[in-house]
Amino acid sequence: MIKRILFLFFSTIFLITLISCNQNLQKTRSFTLKMPDVAPGAKKVGSQACADCHEELVQNFKSNVHGRIIPGETAIGETGCETCHGPGSIHVDSEEPSKIINPDKVDAVAASSICLRCHTGDEHQNWNGSEHALNDVSCVKCHKIHNNHNQALLIKKEPDLCYSCHQDIKAKSYYPTHHPVKEGKMVCSDCHANHGSVLNNLKTDERLNDLCLKCHTRYQGPFTFEHSPVVEDCTICHEPHGTVANNLLKQNEPFLCLQCHDLHFHTAIQSPNTAGMPYLNPNTDTSKTNQILEKTKNVRTTQIFMGTKCTTCHSAVHGSELPSLSVPSHGRGLTR
Amino acid sequence: MQKFKIILLMFFCVALSMPLIAGDKESYNSIKFGAFLQGDDDKLDRVAEYQEDKSSPTVNFNFKTFNNNSDLYVNGNYEGEYTNSIEAKGNLMRIISVDLDYSSLFHRKDYDTLFIQYDKNNFSPAVATGKVPFVNSPDGKVYGINKFIADDTVTSPGGQWYGFEQDSTAVNKDYYIKRRELLTKVSFAIPGMETLKLNFSGRFENRNGYEHKTVMVGKCTVCHVRGLRKNVDETTRDLKAGFSFTGGPVYFSYSHMYRDFYVSNKPLTTTFDNIEGLRSSKPDKYIVFSPRLNSETYGGTEEVAKTPESDKHMDTFKLRLDLPYYSTFAASYTTSTITNNDSYGGDNIDLDQDALNLRFTTHLLKRKLTLTTKFRYLKLDRDTVHAELEKDDAYYFQPDYSTPVNFKGVNYNYDMSKAYYYNDINQPVIFDIEGDSTYDRKEYQFGIDAVYRMLRNKLKFRLGYEYENIDRDNYEVYPNHKKTEKNKIKAGIDFKPFMKFSGRFKFEYTNIDDPFAKPKAGCIAVTSASQLKYGGGGKAAYPLVYDRRTYTGSASPSEIYSYSLNLNWLAAKNLSMNFIGKYTDSENNEGNTDWNYDGLTLGFDGTLMISEKLSFSFGYNFEKADTESKISVGLYAG
């Protein structure tokens, strides 16, 4: 708790310092974050000059959030067409398209840097250095600013937008077990930080497991009786994009479990019919009870019981607060 | 649910009034009707996991209105009683921004019944003898145990020597979860300093329904498993408050999140096997098992499938500094504590986590060269837990294998040929448990990436390297090895030889020293069978077998080779085609199981635009994955 209070205290002090320096900081931003220079010497002419030729674009721009923001909201203290397209005087005079910034025509780094002049924080904090940025997937590859009524100005809705490049993930999302993405109940950006993050483009500042635990909080624990791979990394056993096996498991039980655990001894032997685990041979035993076994002839009873699904008995596989019955396993059998 | 409705109503009252107050406004509205039908030759939970019914009408509506500085957007979906959503976003005078999103989801839970179903007409259960466990269910069918016939008599409520779906309540029932989630986000911009924002958000998620649980009710799992129908009513509540500020080239934010996870369903209980039954009918087994069992459950009705309540506090600090040459320095620090308030030992269990992330990116040579480097430090620390298992003196005695056990006036000798023994002869059974966690660790990561655009938009090279070190305090991934080291190199090329054709090829190689594994997972190293026997015993004994396990099992790779190829072709003005090929070869040559994984994905898709409002999309994907691993099967009889 003391750490938390100190944390809040120093954050507040830092914030106050920043606010007191704000006026000086504001001046440095547009100097630091320069626009691509496509028309050296151009000056600002105002949005009305743009409307003279691009009447429809400017008219429709009112429906766009960029057309409603106020100067104080942006990190550079400006709004209007030239905030993104740069000074337009030479373009207006010459009517030359190359003399105005078109994010579609400049290189990916420059195109994104236009947006980053304002979209600097929150989820955009780690854009530079992100996978999309390094692969030159600039902002305008996914967002269409003009004449677009989609949410977040996306070119297409999720997940179709993401699937247009990530086809392999699309294929997995159609497997028998999947998160409800194709049903429209989840989108890629529920888990993925498309604008970059500190951890593999996932929406978490902590560990991968913490992302999963946001929705699967019942496995948050921390448990008294824990299962080590669950603690280590959810993706040791699960493939979150989709699997053939149930519960997004990478493989069916028991094969998944057997990669780290040995098979219980009973599964390796035919159950004796005299001791411990009775086994009735339907070919020799004519008692009434064989009427059931007729349907399961030659079944090796214990082998089938213990060799099919490990979680039938070890049902608390994500961790438990109740000890198992057998003391020599120190209660860690994860059976309750 | 009532809370949700009230919050929704309040929001709409406020939000809808915004544009009305503001006056002059424009609106865009749409409404769509539809329906869906689902065929089901199989069970619905197999073919329609997230559908609540086989058919339903659907409705979708959009409403968007705005004026100069206020706006409201509402989107709603109806797909059934429990499958619907509504999202509303509004902004008033560019000062207050409200975002509200409610959605509900019906999730069918597939499960494996413990029994197969028999037709009553062709089946004569031996009810009178009590030897055939079965359940007469309301649907008139008989659910008998499918793989095992008991030789013992049912004597207690829990029964002995059989498992069953408890009281038939678990048989042939629907298992499902109704998930409801409400997200709210409110942001206040300070007038006059709009880049300073106060942010508040909340998330309420409730999961309500039934799930199938199986539980061991006796020592000998095979026959003592019971299926139960568990009611689930769990809620997660996330509350977050903080501020963000952008001042020139500096961005700074702080937030505190509190998560509360609580359980409202009644605890699930079941009756456990009575040790008395074993004691009277099989005293030779009783004297072996009795001192080794947690007596908490003997013949009693106890809780099972418990979900512990927990909470989490998390503080996040973020800083970004923009520098010349399109350079950025980003830092974040997160500290959190998760507390289990419902532990077996009674004390709260805390997990502390600290994460520091740093990243610097710059663009040089007129943006032809991008360099980025990152560093990450993570520390995890969980409390050491203490739990004391229950020891009932009436049933407990310290094993002494040389002395007969007197039970009801009869002396029973330990029959070494049966070899049921779990513990070493000379070791006492441990009931007090002290446990450190796999969580406890420090992690370091370092990475550097370089992108060189040789011919802008036509030829690009990429190189990268990442290093990761996981230093565990307690858990040994291999005998005497607690540290995992990962080295990864990445190389790629983007090419565009023609205007209408482009592609990308990527290669990644990862080497992991001591990847996550389970040591002493199986296999026995002995030179003679007698090493596994006590005294003159005829069969292998558990404790000796366990002590001699030698192999390490793992499902994690120590080497990964990954190749991917993407090709894009604009075949005609209105036809685009994409091709993808991906191959991954992973293996673990550090464990003893020769673990290997091969994955291949091939696919293509295309879009044909007939007109601006009519287009066809098509695609085909092929995926193949093979995992190969040796497994260990203990060839010894208990």
Q: CA–CA distance from B625 to each of A176, B166, B622 (Å)?
A: 15, 39, 10
Residue B45 has a pLDDT of 72
The answer to whether residue A12 is domain-embedded is no
Q: What are phi and psi of B54, to 5 degrees?
A: -75, -25
Q: What is the mean pLDDT of chain A?
A: 83
A152 touches chain B (CB under 8 A): no
Give the DSSP H or E segment for A109. helix A108-116
Residue B35 has a pLDDT of 92
Residue B368 has a pLDDT of 92
Nearest to A63 among B66, B94, B132 (CB): B66
Decide if A72 and B118 are in contact by the 8 Å CB cutoff.
no
Using CA atoms, how far apart are residues A2 and A6, in angstroms rounded to an integer?
Answer: 6
Q: What residues does B108 pair with on adjacent strands? A: B176
Using CA atoms, how far apart are residues B52 and B71, in angstroms rounded to an integer?
Answer: 35
Pairing label, strands B441-455, B459-472 = antiparallel
3-class SS of residue A312? helix
Read off the DSSP letter of residue B293.
B
The answer to whether residue A83 is domain-embedded is no
What is the secondary structure of B333-363 as a DSSP string? EEEEEEEESS-TTSS-EEEEEEEEEEEEEEE
Interface test with B, best of A185, A207, A244, A332 (most B CBs within 10 A): A185
**A37-41, A279-283, B1-5, B202-206: least confident range:** A279-283
Buried b (16+ CB within 10 A) or exposed e, B236-262: bbbebebbbbbbbbbbbbbbbbebebb
Residues of chain B with pLDDT under 50: 115-168, 221-222, 416-426, 637-638
Residue B421 has a pLDDT of 41
For the record, the structure tokens of A96 come out as 């030359």
The answer to whether residue A187 is domain-embedded is no
Nearest alpha-carbon partner for A304 in B115, B356, B447, B271: B115
3-class SS of residue B533? coil
Decide if A323 and B580 are in contact by the 8 Å CB cutoff.
no
B105 touches chain A (CB under 8 A): yes
Nearest alpha-carbon partner for A142 in B87, A74, A150: A150
B636 touches chain A (CB under 8 A): yes
Decide if B294 and A136 are in contact by the 8 Å CB cutoff.
no
Decide if B146 and A22 are in contact by the 8 Å CB cutoff.
no
The answer to whether residue A285 is domain-embedded is yes
The answer to whether residue A234 is domain-embedded is yes
Q: CA–CA distance from A278 to each of A135, A185, A267, A273 (Å)?
A: 64, 49, 14, 4
A17 touches chain B (CB under 8 A): no
Residue A14 has a pLDDT of 78
pLDDT (tens digit per residue) in B544-578:
676 678 888 999 999 999 999 999 999 998 999 99
Decide if A73 and B94 are in contact by the 8 Å CB cutoff.
yes
- Nearest residue of B to residue A252 by CA position? B627
Using CA atoms, how far apart are residues B120 and B115, in angstroms rounded to an integer?
Answer: 14
Residue A303 has a pLDDT of 58
Report how many domains make up chain A: 1
Torsion of CA B88, B89, B90, B91, to 10 degrees: 170
Which of chain B's residues have a Cβ under 8 Å away from the Cβ of A222?
A: 338, 340, 349-351, 382-383, 437, 439
Nearest alpha-carbon partner for B214 in A281, A305, A104, A223: A305
Decide if A265 and B245 are in contact by the 8 Å CB cutoff.
no
Nearest alpha-carbon partner for B582 in B559, B601, B598: B601
Interface test with A, best of B103, B264, B459, B633 (most A CBs within 10 A): B633
Q: Provide the ipTM.
A: 0.88
Strands (E) located in B418-574: 432-435, 441-455, 459-472, 483-498, 501-513, 518-524, 549-553, 559-572
pLDDT (tens digit per residue) in A69-98:
888 888 788 889 999 999 999 999 998 999
Using CA atoms, how far apart are residues A186 and B183, in angstroms rounded to an integer?
Answer: 14
Half-sphere exposure of B368 (CA within 13 A, CB side): 8
Decide if A26 and B376 are in contact by the 8 Å CB cutoff.
no
Length of chain A equals: 336
Q: Cβ distance B246 to A74 under 8 Å?
A: no
Q: Which residue range is the domain that position A236 belongs to?
A: 228-329
Largest alpha-carbon pair distance within chain B?
Answer: 98
A153 touches chain B (CB under 8 A): no
- How many C-beta neighbours within 10 Å does residue B341 have? 13
- Nearest residue of B to residue A225 by CA position? B435
Using CA atoms, how far apart are residues A243 and A215, in angstroms rounded to an integer?
Answer: 19
- Nearest residue of B to residue A251 by CA position? B627
Q: Give the number of beta-carbon pairs within 8 Å between A and B.
A: 450
Q: CA–CA distance from A177 to each of A255, A309, B504 (Å)?
A: 17, 17, 30
Which of chain B's residues have a Cβ under 8 Å away from the Cβ of A285?
A: none
Closest Cα in chain A, distance from residue B544 (Å): 13
Nearest to A259 among B193, B357, B629 (CB): B629
Using CA atoms, how far apart are residues B578 and A170, in angstroms rounded to an integer?
Answer: 14
A288 touches chain B (CB under 8 A): yes
3-class SS of residue A50? helix
Which of chain B's residues have a Cβ under 8 Å away from the Cβ of A173?
A: none
Give the DSSP H or E segment for B76. strand B71-78
Interface of B with A in 164-193 (CB under 8 A): 189, 192-193
Which of chain A's residues have a Cβ under 8 Å away from the Cβ of B327?
A: 128
The answer to whether residue A142 is domain-embedded is no
Residue A59 has a pLDDT of 84
Using CA atoms, how far apart are residues A126 and B149, in angstroms rounded to an integer?
Answer: 62
Which of chain B's residues have a Cβ under 8 Å away from the Cβ of A63?
A: 26, 28, 64, 66
Q: Cβ distance B299 to B280 under 8 Å?
A: no
Nearest to B621 among A22, A29, A171 (CB): A171
- What are the residues whose beta carbons fall under 8 Å from the beta carbon of A142, sequence distance 6 or more? A154, A155, A161, A194
A328 touches chain B (CB under 8 A): yes
Residue B275 has a pLDDT of 62
Residue holding tokens 């009519």? Answer: B614
pLDDT band at A310; cut points 50, 70, 90? confident
Nearest to B330 among A125, A149, A264 (CB): A125
The answer to whether residue A282 is domain-embedded is yes
The answer to whether residue A241 is domain-embedded is yes
Closest Cα in chain B, distance from residue A22 (Å): 5
Buried b (16+ CB within 10 A) or exposed e, A245-279: bbebbbbebbbbbbbbbbbbbbbbbebeeeebbbb
Region label for B408, one of left (φ > 0), alpha (ψ between -120 and 50) or beta (otherwise):
left
Is residue A299 over pLDDT 60? no
Q: Cβ distance B573 to B604 under 8 Å?
A: no
- Nearest residue of A to residue B246 by CA position? A75
